[in-house]
Structure 1
């Protein structure tokens, strides 16, 4: 490696690792605010909190790394331009592209490492962090309850959903305004318990956690065996001063905080797993749609497959339909009915009303079924779209580091400013533009409004022409925004109009 390449690479690496360290610390503190309720005041040890933060750091790479590359390239080349080092290079016959050569090789290698990191480390980190949070909630019961929302609270027996307005006291053991939905083994919520106060009582020597409720009401829906009795919707209601729920945590005390569970989200999967799941999810969704379509067609009685009714069968069905009216039955049997209007005209009024009401009821029922099924299919396709997005985002993240380098390096040479002042402002503005475009594109892609592949690659594709344009302008020693050719174009336009008038 030549001395010049070594010098440029050393300066870039210094700015790169400095910016990465500063940004990762900022994002860690921002993340701590998100999970502060899950970690603070729960009696967790420093080791557990340290593991949580250790697993959390890799999940920040997709945000921190592109911004780091952009900021480091602007800082490096902005400092070179400010100190007239670029002028000395050009005077020696060294172009901008030649000065970027060593960094281009480094950024390409960085893109490969980034893809490997996104494909292996980040999914494993997401899975570890998810399992750690869930297992902490099981070992520390108060951690499983979040103020203001219903939280799943499961022991070794029947589970429940708990909502509290406020937690306070030592390790959040005291609860205000408790609402509990107890779940049966079939996961049905037939029991509701409301209490003004509650307390979690536990002991290190016991495998039982007691949830003591005070001043509340107990509601339970009863399900008799007789069908007629069920239509009356019977229920039991009682009032209590103190009600105790015992939760067996004998298995939870032996819970391994590092235990891996089933992979549940697309962020926890690598490329090979995503490709496999995308294929299976796509086939499964198509099967669901086809099965639902056949069901609707059968309910409508339209377009039956391989069932062509002849005129004799039609007459027979119509005769059975109006068997009570012998005059119309004979008329239908002897005449050929060509249209629906002729059929309705041949029937008495009460039968016409009956047919119309039945058709209306059938259509309303089918529409309700379609609306309900539409919501289910939308969730399925949203889950399917999120897998495609995650797959392409792994590739897009690697390419974004390369593209943003070609945006930041010529931009630094153009603005000719080093330090953390103007370069930091420009880098943040560009990164926020890149980030928010990615967020909106991902949301639109998940909903199916735009192509899934485009949703993952859109911010990178938008930055690509910007990088090409800035590189050309920096190579030609042009400013960031050239107004000269715009003014010249406007002047020429007015000259042409004036000449045409003359």
Structure 2
């Protein structure tokens, strides 16, 4: 590495680390303020907060890296330009692009590391963050009873004290007991004084009461004409109540598998599996739509079938084959386990048998007798079944013939008619259909079928829209792992040439310009992702939208920096305005 590369890279690393820590701290503060009311004031230990803050720092690092690269590169080349070091580099025949190379290589390596972090480290940290944050939210606030206010932090109890004496002393205690699921004031305890202190590693709380009374009344479950319910009143000089604080004030950690379906905790491979599962769900909904429509309209089943599209059938066949393969694997595993258990049982039984040969002979004879008996029984059953079927068919034929004979005798015909219907007979049949409202019933049935089919289609469409929205969000989470890493390089192309143009270091102008460009980048990112979520644009274009918009700015600033353009000096814009005026004068002279 040459001295020039060491000089430029060394002047970049210091501001980069400083700005990364500052930006990470600012984003951490924003995140902590978002959950401030939910995580503080619950009596958690210091290390729980340290763990949560550490998870937050790692999870927001992908957002902090682009801003840190933008600000540090702008400060680095601004300092070089302010101290005329960049002018000396150019005067020695070294181009601006050559001066940008060491930091550019570092940013490319940093982008690749950011991609690896987004794909492997951040998902695992997000899993732990969600789990810990949920457990903190579910934890009850710390036990803190205030004088003159009812405290409901202990489930099933409502406690009020008139005065607190010292750390544990209480005066004027009133307790409503709702632990049995009873509402109202049916179980009340009053005491002149008492004390509340934890014991057994703060897993339990003991409430000692002195000089009090307890009133308890059973709830009346029947009408007012029944006899009054039992009411008891008890006086005591001392009484103790123990509260279990394990499930109430302890931090119970939830299993991390409960968050396994969240897309923020998945890497690219897992996201692809999720996308394939969503495709299967959408295809199943479309396939079922065809089948349900076919069942609603019966004439489809008589004349033709509603055949789904070829792509739906191909996907259905693929999904069915995968399901069949999984079922076969599961069945093979179950059969193998059963076989191992049977072999183990046989081995254990063979140890207990003294004369296995005799038992084998006896069991073989018993099996032979059982087989013979079963064959005979099955032959008898089959013969009886055949006789029963013959009798049943004969009975049916006799009944059918008797019915036909009765019909023929009723209408005065000895044989069945084979001649076609006459016009008069047809008109009589049509009049029956018209007079009895068959046509109206058919129309009503058709309308009902149409409405039910429309409702089913609307429900299916809603479900498919939800699945497709989830599909787009999974795709956005997939592409974000690339775009957040590529943003480091895109913002470097803006920050480095801008620093060479403005020639100002420190934390003044560079910070202002960096914040402006980062806000623009953030707004473009949110806009593109919103378009992608709503299905207005493709998710790939929506996630890369901010980088696509930032790249032209970077290339434009590099071009201007190579020409030593003074974009942030008034003389530059005065010269541009004068050139525009000269152009108008030339046009006017040609027109005259």
The secondary structure found in structure 2 opposite 1:257 is coil
Equivalent position to 1:282, from 271, 279, 287: 279
User: 1:265 Cα shift?
Assistant: 1.0
Aligned position for 1:379: 466
Within the alignment, does 1:123 sit opposite 2:123 as a pair? Answer: yes
State the 1:414 CA deviation: 1.3
CA contact 1:78–1:416 (8 Å) conserved in 2: yes
Tell me the residue number matched to 2:559. Answer: 472
TM-score normalised over the length of structure 1 = 0.68
Please point out which of 491, 505, 515 is paired with 1:418: 505
Q: Against the structure 1 CA distance between its residues 410 and 357, is the aligned structure 2 distance closer, same or farther, given a 3 Å change threshold? A: same
1:327 pairs with one of 427, 433, 450 = 427
Larger deviation, residues 439-448 vs 428-437: 439-448
Q: Say whether residues 1:260 and 2:256 are aligned partners.
A: yes
**2: distance between equivalents of 1:440 and 1:301?**
49
Alpha-carbon distance in 2 for matches of 1:303, 1:86: 81
Change (3 A) 1:496 1:267: same
Whether the aligned pair in 1 keeps the contact of 2:41 and 2:141 (CA below 8 Å) is no
Structure 1's unaligned 5+ residue stretches are 144-167, 177-191, 208-246, 309-324, 333-345
Going from structure 1 to structure 2, the CA distance change for 1:394 and 1:175 (only over 3 Å counts) comes to farther
Describe the SS at the equivalent of 1:261. helix
Measured in 2, the distance between the counterparts of 1:249 and 1:362 equals 59
Structure 2 gap segments, 5+ residues each: 143-148, 158-180, 186-195, 206-242, 306-424
What residue number does 1:341 align with? none
Relative distance call for 1:362 and 1:455 in structure 2 (3 A) is same
Question: What CA deviation, in whole Å up to 9, does each residue of 1:325-348 have, x standing for no partner?
Answer: 97374499xxxxxxxxxxxxx957
| Within-5 A mapping of 1:173-212 | none
Residue 394 of structure 1: CA displacement? 0.6
Report matched runs for 1:28-39 at 5 Å: 28-39=28-39
1:374 CA drift (Å): 2.8
Bigger radius of gyration: 2
Q: By how many angstroms is 1:479 displaced?
A: 3.1
2: CA distance, partners of 1:193 / 1:98: 80
Higher helix share: 2
Task: Report matched runs for 1:113-192 at 5 Å.
Answer: 113-137=113-137, 140-141=139-140
Query: Could you report, residue by residue, the CA deviation over 1:181-219 in whole angstroms, capped at 9, with x for unpaired residues?
Result: xxxxxxxxxxx99999xxxx9986579xxxxxxxxxxxx
Residues 154 and 248, structure 2, Cα contact 8 Å, conserved in 1: no
Q: What TM-score, normalized to structure 2?
A: 0.58
Distance of 1:458 and 1:305 partners within structure 2: 53
- SS of the residue corresponding to residue 35 of structure 2 reads helix
Change (3 A) 1:422 1:122: same
Distance 1:173 1:15 in 2: 51
User: Compared with structure 1, are the counterparts of its residues 306 and 467 closer, same or farther at alpha carbon in structure 2 (3 Å cutoff)?
Assistant: farther
- Alpha-carbon displacement from aligned partner over 1:146-195 (angstroms, at most 9, x marks no partner): xxxxxxxxxxxxxxxxxxxxxx977955999xxxxxxxxxxxxxxx9999
Cα–Cα, structure 1 residues 22 and 173, in superposed 2: closer, same or farther, change >3 Å?
farther
